[in-house]
């Protein structure tokens, strides 16, 4: 659908597509504040179609997929590697590692051990302390 012939209707549709309320969009389009009129304009078929089109275009432009990120990272890696300098090779390596991670080829694993002890006024006995802290060789 092309731009709406009525400039105010177009602006109203654009403001709605951006997420403004009907009343806010109506005022931004240059109309005097009127919730009933804003509501009526929102129900206009051409305005509804234009809002849907603008929202679809916006979603397509902002779509960030694993494929697009991977392609961009590989492009960065290629350009950095072409520099044939240590700094460029470091950037190339980092970009390749990032690409591998987002594609599931590398999984970072870490172990987080947290032993919480009940806080009391009693100190552990020597045997309890050794059981927790002394390792046998």
Domain boundaries, the chain: 7-62, 66-102
Quick check: pTM over 0.85? no
Half-sphere exposure of 72 (CA within 13 A, CB side): 7
Q: How far apart are CA 88 and CA 110, in angstroms?
A: 29
pLDDT digits (tens, 9 = 90+) for 93-134: 999 999 999 888 888 777 776 666 555 667 778 888 888 887
pLDDT digits (tens, 9 = 90+) for 20-64: 999 999 999 999 999 999 999 999 999 999 999 988 887 777 777
Asked if residue 70 lies in contact with residue 32, where contact means CB atoms within 8 angstroms, the answer is no
| 113: its two tokens | 């051990």
Asked if residue 16 lies in contact with residue 22, where contact means CB atoms within 8 angstroms, the answer is yes
Asked if residue 46 lies in contact with residue 9, where contact means CB atoms within 8 angstroms, the answer is yes
Q: How far apart are CA 12 and CA 21, in angstroms?
A: 10
């Amino acid at each position: 659908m092309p731009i709406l012939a009525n400039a105010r209707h177009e602006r109203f549709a654009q403001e709605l597509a951006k997420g403004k309320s009907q009343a806010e969009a109506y005022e931004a389009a240059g109309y005097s504040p009127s919730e009933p009129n804003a509501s009526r304009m929102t129900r206009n078929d051409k305005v509804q179609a234009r809002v849907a089109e603008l929202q679809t275009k916006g979603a397509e432009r902002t779509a960030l997929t694993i494929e697009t990120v991977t392609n961009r990272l590989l492009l960065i890696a290629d350009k950095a590697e072409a520099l044939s300098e240590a700094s460029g090779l470091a950037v190339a390596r980092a970009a390749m590692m990032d690409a591998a991670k987002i594609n599931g080829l590398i999984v970072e694993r870490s172990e987080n051990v947290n032993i919480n002890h009940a806080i009391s006024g009693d100190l552990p006995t020597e045997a309890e302390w050794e059981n927790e802290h002394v390792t046998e060789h």
